[in-house]
């Protein structure tokens, strides 16, 4: 049996373009794909417009609701709007159990510990569906205002605090998993959850490729700190890529490799998939006036968030043979979007704030400029909107929407309750039978 706590050993955010440049330098031995090998566009798809209407009611009634005030939940004050603090999380453990966590105000008399870290307490509850009965409960003390919980596909989850990453189960029992030389700032996984991407803030003098690290309390941080990004195996903790960067970065990965975007002429972007095993291939192309943000929603499908010729946010769902599955244009009144996906990749949620007027990237917003928050649930294969619903209170860091493993249940925090919607089965994702060869 492996040690549950590994030392790291060799083996939204800055743009993906920066990440690709840095990682390509670190992995120059992997080789490059030729642009001549890029897949040809198969179909020209006319984008459809997402709704610019703020829904006052969900597009269908919830199958059932669970009131949250009896659970000890209270809505955050308006002063949190725009700060992007992660104050709540709503996640399916399976089709019939929800993990609901939320900040508990008033339990601490200070907002920072002796080291200046932000301190808060989070109440965690596992709820049975549809009754809402509490199956297990815990209280966590955490030292950050950022995202703290990531779900796994097997009914477990990862919890981040300071330099440590722990794994929890449906009984809310926690076991240490990984410890880092410095504070863990960000984490993400591939859709199959074989790999972790971690960003940790570490002393420049620390040699991240040395397995034996000094104890956390013995490390002195000064102005020579830097961000260290790693890609590592989740089960073993073995590091397969390591690079130093200036800030946290987002790296889209699947179980085969990571994507980078390379700018060509004018609006043309080439997406290059670099394999963990070596070599690369052209994943596809996108026309965008800005560097696209990329997320894998399934093993062989990525969602690209770029800019149309008119400066609007354009969503492109792309299979890894380069085929554009569907395109959508988000209205200029959509602010601070968040992406939520089902573990099986069949559905995704586009969560955003609805502004009272068109908004550009440099506009300043106040609470008077915001109508509310909403989510649109898409079928990943077609882009069809299966559900739209308002969200209240507003959580600009997200965490108030969850999609079940099958994609057939959606839970939202709205109007003093967890509302759970039941949807028909989503259309099947395309079968990728014609993939370009790696180089």
**DSSP letter string over 386-429?**
EEEEEESS--TT--SEEE-TTSSEEEEEETTEEEEEE-PPPPPP
The residues, any chain, with a CB within 8 Å of residue 90's CB and separated by 6 or more, are 98, 99, 100, 399, 400, 401, 402, 411, 412, 413, 418
Q: Give the chain's residues under pLDDT 50.
A: 1-44, 108-109, 111-115, 208-224, 433-439
Query: What is residue 247's predicted lDDT score, i.e. its pLDDT?
Result: 85
Mapping DSSP to helix (H, G, I), strand (E, B) and coil, where does residue 285 land?
Answer: strand
Which of the listed CATH numbers 2.130.10.10, 3.30.1540.20, 3.40.50.620, 2.60.40.420 matches domain 6-203+226-422?
2.130.10.10
Query: What is residue 342's predicted lDDT score, i.e. its pLDDT?
Result: 95
Query: What is residue 89's predicted lDDT score, i.e. its pLDDT?
Result: 97
Query: What is residue 83's predicted lDDT score, i.e. its pLDDT?
Result: 78
* DSSP letter assigned to residue 112: B
Query: What is residue 394's predicted lDDT score, i.e. its pLDDT?
Result: 93
Query: What is residue 22's predicted lDDT score, i.e. its pLDDT?
Result: 44
Q: Which residue has the tokens 């929407």?
A: 401
The residues, any chain, with a CB within 8 Å of residue 124's CB and separated by 6 or more, are 99, 100, 101, 137, 138, 139, 140, 172
Query: What is residue 46's predicted lDDT score, i.e. its pLDDT?
Result: 58
Task: Give the tens place of pLDDT for each residue, 305-363.
Answer: 998 888 788 999 999 888 899 999 888 888 888 999 999 999 999 999 988 888 766 66
């Amino acid at each position: 049996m492996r040690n549950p706590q590994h030392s790291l050993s060799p083996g939204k955010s800055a743009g993906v373009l920066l990440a690709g440049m840095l990682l390509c330098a670190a992995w120059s031995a992997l080789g490059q794909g030729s642009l001549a090998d890029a897949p040809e566009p198969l179909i020209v798809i006319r984008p459809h417009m997402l709704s610019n209407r703020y829904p006052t009611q969900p597009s269908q009634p919830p199958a059932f609701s669970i009131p949250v005030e009896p659970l000890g939940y209270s809505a955050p004050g308006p002063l949190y709007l725009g700060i992007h603090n992660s104050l709540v999380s709503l996640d399916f453990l399976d089709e019939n159990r929800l993990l609901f966590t939320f900040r508990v105000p008033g339990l601490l008399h200070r907002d920072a510990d002796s080291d200046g870290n932000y301190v808060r307490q989070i109440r965690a509850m596992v709820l049975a569906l549809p009754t809402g009965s509490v199956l297990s409960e815990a209280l966590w003390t955490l030292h950050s205002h950022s995202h703290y919980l990531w779900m796994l596909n097997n009914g477990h989850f990862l919890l981040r605090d300071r330099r440590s990453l722990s794994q929890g189960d449906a009984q809310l029992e926690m076991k240490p998993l990984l410890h880092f030389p410095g504070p863990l700032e960000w984490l993400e996984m591939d859709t199959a959850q074989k790999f972790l991407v971690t960003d940790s803030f570490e002393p420049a003098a620390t040699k991240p490729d040395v397995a034996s690290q000094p104890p956390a309390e013995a490390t002195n941080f000064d102005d020579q700190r830097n961000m260290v990004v790693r890609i590592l195996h989740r089960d073993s903790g073995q590091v397969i890529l390591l690079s130093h960067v200036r800030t946290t970065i987002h790296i889209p990965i699947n179980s085969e490799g990571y994507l980078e975007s390379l700018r060509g002429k004018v609006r043309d972007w080439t997406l290059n998939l670099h394999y963990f095993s070596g070599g690369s291939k052209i994943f596809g192309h996108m026309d965008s006036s800005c560097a696209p943000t990329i997320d894998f929603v399934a093993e062989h499908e990525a969602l690209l968030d770029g800019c149309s010729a008119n400066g609007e946010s354009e969503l492109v769902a792309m299979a890894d043979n380069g085929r554009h599955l569907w395109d959508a244009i988000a209205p200029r009144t959509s602010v601070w979007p968040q992406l939520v996906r089902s573990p099986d990749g069949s559905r995704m949620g586009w969560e955003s704030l609805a502004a009272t007027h068109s908004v550009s990237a440099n506009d300043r917003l106040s609470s008077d400029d915001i109508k509310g928050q909403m989510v649109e649930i898409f079928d990943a294969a077609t882009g069809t909107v299966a559900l739209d619903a308002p969200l209240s209170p507003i959580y600009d860091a997200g965490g108030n929407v969850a999609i079940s493993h099958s994609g057939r249940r959606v839970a939202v925090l709205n109007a003093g309750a967890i509302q759970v919607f039941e949807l028909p089965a989503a259309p099947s994702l395309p079968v990728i039978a014609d993939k370009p060869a790696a180089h």
